[in-house]
A = this chain, B = another copy of it.
Amino acid sequence: MNTSDIQITPIQQSKINSVDFNNLAFGAVFSDYMFECDFKDGSWQKPKIKPYGPISLDPSARVFHYGQAVFEGMKAYKDDNDDIFLFRPDENFKRINKSAERLAIPAFPEDYFFNGLTQLLKLEKDWIKKGLGNSLYIRPFVIATQPAISASPANEYKFMIILSPAQAYYSGEVKVIFSEKYSRSADGGVGFAKAAGNYAAQFYPTKLANEKGYQQIIWTDASTHNYLEEAGTMNIFFRVGDTLITAPNNDRILDGVTRKSVIQIAKDNNIDVEVRRVSVAEIKEAARKGALKEIFGSGTATVINPIVAFSHGGEDFDLPKQEKSYASFFKEKLTSIQYNISEDPYGWRFKI
């Protein structure tokens, strides 16, 4: 497929001037255009870029009933020369198809994905604001649209990309609670996929945690609740002494792009990294002994999110303030690559 094969319907007028870019709630404002591609009769049809607006679906569309839907989350960054960059978009492309496979959704073609996204971002370049922290959040997603409620994979889908301008994400002081009762996913389940249903399943336990004063839950393995896995939309790192520890990928954990980038940067900066099961007991013990220096989350939305306190079994633990934190080290390294400020030894930047 060539970029020229995308059918573009122009907007009448941009709504960009009505948007206050200094006052953006996450994911609430969308740009002028959206990308759309339908799957039917066994193949992905001609992709379209058209004015952002409502889609019309039969009430029996399978996504409403059986949650057959997957998504991705990426960002476009602008440097001082108005050049636009993505960060490791090949990882997101591979992951959406890995998620799709687990949900019995047909794979989306690579050229459709990259040509569609490139074309869309070129049209929407004014929506990407300069300045560290500013970005255009990119949400590719696929939904099952076939109008029939039998509990089986659909034969019709819609792949879309929508764009939402975002500012640096400041979440306040994040306190977390380690899950003792609820779980995010099962062995042999869909936790490693960015499957829509994984997220709604977390809302209620997270609401309970919020009511107790914790902003997020760190999920533990469903079988024993003894091992720390990840947060709702972030992977999790522990710094014990000067060693960085994070849980290995398995079929319950999302294989985060930020996570694997942190691991790589750590290795190349002589920071010891251990990718292994992390037990609740060990982290509590380290905290008691003063060896636990940091906990932070990693993810596209927040980049690196330092955690100030955690709770488990009714005990609360505050984390010490760090002069030179790993969290800020990795955040600086990552954003420098993302915004074309530093060299990119890994080839992670993708220029639009």
Residues of A within 8 A of B (CB): 25-28, 30, 34, 52-60, 63-69, 71, 101-104, 139, 141, 143-144, 147-153, 160, 162, 164, 179, 181-190, 195-204, 206-207, 222-223, 225, 232-233
Q: A58 — which chain B residues lie within 8 A by C-beta? A: 53-55
In the assembled complex, the Cα of A232 lies from the Cα of B153 at a distance in Å of 13
In the assembled complex, the Cα of A55 lies from the Cα of B59 at a distance in Å of 6
Contact yes or no, B52 A59, CB < 8 A: yes
Known: A59-B162, A186-B189. A200 touches B67 (CB 8 A): yes
In the assembled complex, the Cα of A202 lies from the Cα of B160 at a distance in Å of 24
Q: A102 — which chain B residues lie within 8 A by C-beta? A: 201, 204
In the assembled complex, the Cα of A22 lies from the Cα of B306 at a distance in Å of 62
In the assembled complex, the Cα of A73 lies from the Cα of B343 at a distance in Å of 57
Q: A203 — which chain B residues lie within 8 A by C-beta? A: 66, 68, 103-104, 152-153
Contact yes or no, A67 B198, CB < 8 A: yes
Q: A181 — which chain B residues lie within 8 A by C-beta? A: 188
Residue pairs across A and B with Cβ atoms less than 8 A apart, 22 shown, are: A27-B150, A34-B59, A54-B56, A54-B57, A54-B59, A60-B139, A60-B164, A66-B200, A67-B198, A69-B200, A101-B204, A103-B204, A144-B200, A152-B203, A183-B188, A184-B189, A186-B187, A187-B222, A187-B223, A195-B201, A196-B196, A222-B222
Q: Which one of B68, B151, B185, B200 lies within 8 Å of A195 (CB-CB)?
A: B200
Known: A28-B150, A148-B27, A162-B60. A66 touches B196 (CB 8 A): yes
In the assembled complex, the Cα of A52 lies from the Cα of B57 at a distance in Å of 12
Known: A183-B186, A222-B223. A207 touches B104 (CB 8 A): yes
Q: Which one of B52, B55, B143, B150 lies within 8 Å of A25 (CB-CB)?
A: B150
Known: A104-B204, A188-B179, A190-B201. A25 touches B65 (CB 8 A): no
Which residue of chain B is the closest to A142 with respect to CB atoms? B64
Q: A139 — which chain B residues lie within 8 A by C-beta? A: 60, 65, 149
Which residue of chain B is the closest to A204 with respect to CB atoms? B104
Q: A222 — which chain B residues lie within 8 A by C-beta? A: 186-189, 222-223
A267 to chain B, nearest CB (A): 30
Contact yes or no, A150 B26, CB < 8 A: yes
Known: A27-B148, A139-B65. A189 touches B201 (CB 8 A): yes
In the assembled complex, the Cα of A181 lies from the Cα of B250 at a distance in Å of 13
In the assembled complex, the Cα of A170 lies from the Cα of B202 at a distance in Å of 37
